[in-house]
Structure 1
Amino acid sequence: MKIIKLEAIRGFVALYVVIHHFILFTQIYSLTPAFIKFFFRFGREAVLIFFLLSGFVICVSHQKNNTDSFPIYFRKRFLRIYPILLFTFFISILIFYLNGYQFSFVDFKSWIQNVFQLQRINDEPGWKIEPFLGNLPLWSLGYEWWFYMLFFPLIYLLNRFKIKARNNIYVVLLFSIISWILFIIHPSHVFLVLNFFLLWWAGFYCAQIFIEHRDFKLEDLFPVLISLFIMVLIIGLPIAKDFFIENRSIAQINKNFPITNYLYNYIEALILIITGFVWWKFNLFKFDLVLGWFKIFAPISYALFVIHFPVIQLKLPCIENIYLILILKSAIILLLSCFLEMIFQPWINKLHKKLNLYFISPNYVISNTKTNNIL
């Protein structure tokens, strides 16, 4: 089941991230007016919206296919993420080769690490595992993939212990609090992923409310709002103490890792959900005018997200006009995204279906083949 307005938001956010990176990582930065720079500076917030949307969509999908086993669930997630991701790796290698880059064993090691979704942002604690060949947006995929993997065992345990839907957010909150305490004791990317799972589950919880009531009431959203607020207090109170009482600067507070960014994630999630609730109560006033038309980008949003940054890095030495370069790269990004989502991914799905039928029921395939030959 697709919710058109969510599709529009997804399309908008994907396009927003592309423009954000065009402004930030190309020569047009110096030519861009200050107010446009400001509007497109919220790349991290855009990724947070993706996390919330992802949790929401997985809830809707789970409601529809709640009899799926973990192998089936895993296969679905794998088929949605990895074919396009692996193609993106190939495009990145091709672009860097054209740019004159010399590959090394370090790049091969980075590729393996990215295949296993171990990539992260540079300033995070632990091993420095960067997105493959500098494809920065992939850091968020390293979170989202593990959110998917955490979801199924958790939902199984919640059902096993018969925990009501309204209370599952508190279980995830406890999970996040413990992870944060462990992170403070021993800073690790693993504990950070476990802690941020609450952000993803906030979207899942909101979907539960929507599926049950087809409406949002403040009392229904209270559990998710209070859970996010508790994490704001747990992370924020030590920061406030350091800043206001001990007079430490933000740079000093973030000396070991960007702890204020972790706080902002929870504050921004609160703001986004409250804003969405208020807009909902005003019947999503002018939604179609503001965001509705972005739904045309929704079908290619995933490919758009993972493929655009390598193309931005492509060198075009034979062209000097900055705006022409911008137009050409934008066209390449859109064409590749359309190819991946509308041709390549459907082909992978059909191939998987044929292989699945072959391995599960070879007699059916043989019989089908004979029938087709006769026809």
Structure 2
Amino acid sequence: MAKLLPVKTNLSFLDGLRGLAALYVATGHARWLLWEGGEGFRQAGDAYGVTGKAFALGMSVFKFGHEMVLFFFVLSGFVIHLKYALQLAKGPDTHFSFGAYFMKRLKRIMPPYLFALLLTIVCDSLVAHYQFSIYTHTTPLALVNQNITFYHSWTSLVGNIFFLQDAYVPVFGSNGSIWSLKYEWYFYMLYPILLLTNKKFQKLTILGVAAIFGLYVAGFQTRFILFDQVVACLFSWWVGAFIADIYTGRVKVNRWLIYPLIVIVPLIPFIHTSGIPTLVKDQIVAFGFSGLLLLLLDYREKKAVQGFGRLKWLGDCSYTLYLIHAPILILANGILLRVNHNQMPRTFLFVWLAVAFVVLLAYALHFILEKPFTSTAKRVPLNHPEVMPAMVK
């Protein structure tokens, strides 16, 4: 039997989940850069002891940072569309100002992003000046040597400022994490077009996006690399927006057709190593996170769900944390290997110290880089009664 949730119930738990996702990505990179790695562990497993082996095996859960970005995409689609989905649930006369929308997105994205690019220049300059082994690609970690690059041309910098990385220019410097900013930004720019069709044809919109995705899976390409990359991945973002339509009651579906998708989440390690094309793997993972998101939304009054709201502070600085952690960890790798005669440590102490440092720094910086530029005056707060119109069945 349906029941209306109490007004005090809110969605701040989503902020906590976003914070945990950013923490997951940062921890995964710290594990990769500040520990000897799985190969070293296999070669010297007996030197670890029972506790050390348990830690090493347990830390392997942090290998799926790429997949966690798909959670960011799904959650982003939900949050961006939620405001307008709430308005459209009341009637078709929804006011949308592209100018106001564009400026809000610009102020949200750019200040931390520009700072991250500047921080990358500073950290990479130190790494290059001291010729750390991570710069000369002579660390004892083969994957680090193969994957960490240092592109610092003006062309790359300008291209990254306009979100053209991995399309027409390389990712700037060593900050590989910013690859996803290209997708987020152009998803935002495509949203007004999708909103036009979504106003009247919610299901048709997602079917259309799914059809376009199918074309790219089948091998369709245009001459515009950026367009192909972004549009091919748009489906993973729009499923989050579709969850917003379900949540606000604009789309009527049986929840039990969506909830089972959550079983995909624990299967991520198997999906990650499968031979499925990357585009398809990413979409499968996005489906899993969409099922998880709807389940959490529908049972948001439960203490277990609301408990994530205690980590709202981490969610508040999650964007800054995501942007700044990589160049700092790479600099830490250079220093650690220099001090330790180019040998990676077996202890996880440096991993935890580095993670604690970047989290504290991100939290301090978000008061400078994010909070002054994100006005809440015109935003529907997550604990507003209008954010909770749906029934739990």
**TM, length-normalised to structure 2:** 0.67
Q: Is the 8 A contact 1:179 1:192 kept in 2?
A: no
How do 1:263-274 residues align onto structure 2 when only pairs under 5 Å count? 263-274=280-291
What corresponds to 2:318 in structure 1?
301
Aligned to 2:80: 58
Q: Judging changes above 3 Å, is the alpha-carbon distance between structure 1 residues 215 and 37 closer, same or farther for their aligned structure 2 residues?
A: farther
For residue 48 of structure 1, what is the aligned residue in structure 2? 70
In 2, the alpha carbon distance for the partners of 1:57 and 1:97 equals: 37
Write out aligned runs for 1:29-44 (5 A): 29=37, 30=40, 33-44=55-66
* Counterpart-to-counterpart distance in 2, 1:131 and 1:219: 41
- For 1:140-186, what per-residue CA distance to the aligned partner results, in whole angstroms no more than 9, with x for missing partners? 11111111111112213444xx42x2332112223333444563587
How has the CA–CA distance of structure 1 residues 221 and 275 changed in structure 2, closer, same or farther, with 3 Å as cutoff? closer
1:200 aligns with 2:237: yes
One-letter amino acid of the structure 1 residue matched with residue 122 of structure 2: L
Distance 1:6 1:79, change over 3 A: same
Which of 115, 119, 142 in structure 1 is aligned with 2:165?
Answer: 119
The change in CA–CA distance for 1:349 and 1:219 in structure 2 (over 3 A counts) is: closer
**In the aligned structure 1, how far is the partner of 2:101 from the partner of 2:360?**
30
Aligned-pair CA distance for 1:137: 1.1
Higher relative contact order (CA 8 A, sep 6+): 2
Distance 1:87 1:73 in 2: 22
CA 3–27 in structure 1, closer or farther in 2 if over 3 Å, else same: same
**Of 99, 103, 110, which aligns to 2:127?**
99
1:270, distance to aligned residue in structure 2 (A): 2.5
**Which amino acid in the other structure matches residue 321 of structure 2?**
L
SS in 1 for 2:96: coil
> How many Å apart are 1:42 and its aligned residue?
1.4
- 1:82: which partner in 2? 110
Match of 1:151 among 191, 206, 210: 191
Distance 1:290 1:264, change over 3 A: farther
Q: State the superposition RMSD in angstroms.
A: 3.9
AA in 1 matched with 2:75 = L
Structure 2's unaligned 5+ residue stretches are: 1-8, 42-51, 88-93, 136-149, 262-270, 376-393
Distance 2:170 2:72 in 1: 20
CA offsets 1:13-66 (integer angstroms, 9 cap, x no match): 111001111112223535674422431111121000000000000012334685
Q: 113, 128, 133: which one pairs with 2:173? A: 133
Separation in 2, partners of 1:34, 1:261: 27
Are 1:146 and 1:193, in contact at CA under 8 Å, matched by a contact in 2?
yes
After superposing the two structures, state which structure 1 stretch, 321-330 or 11-20, moved more: 321-330
Are positions 1:316 and 2:324 aligned together?
A: no
Alignment partners' CA distance in 2, 1:134 and 1:118: 16
Partner residue, 2:140: none
* 1:20 aligns to 2:28 (yes or no): yes
Distance 2:25 2:151 in 1: 31
Deviations 1:75-130, CA, capped at 9 Å, x for gaps: 1111000111000111111111222349999522111111111113xxxxx65x33
Change (3 A) 1:15 1:265: same
Normalised by the size of structure 1, how large is the TM-score? 0.70
Residue 342 of structure 1: how far off its partner (Å): 1.4
Higher share of residues assigned helix:
1
Distance 2:22 2:236 in 1: 19
Aligned residues: 312
* 8 Å Cα contact 1:14-1:302 kept in structure 2: yes
Using a 3 Å threshold, how does the CA distance of structure 1 residues 274 and 154 change in structure 2: closer, same or farther?
closer
Distance 1:215 1:279, change over 3 A: farther
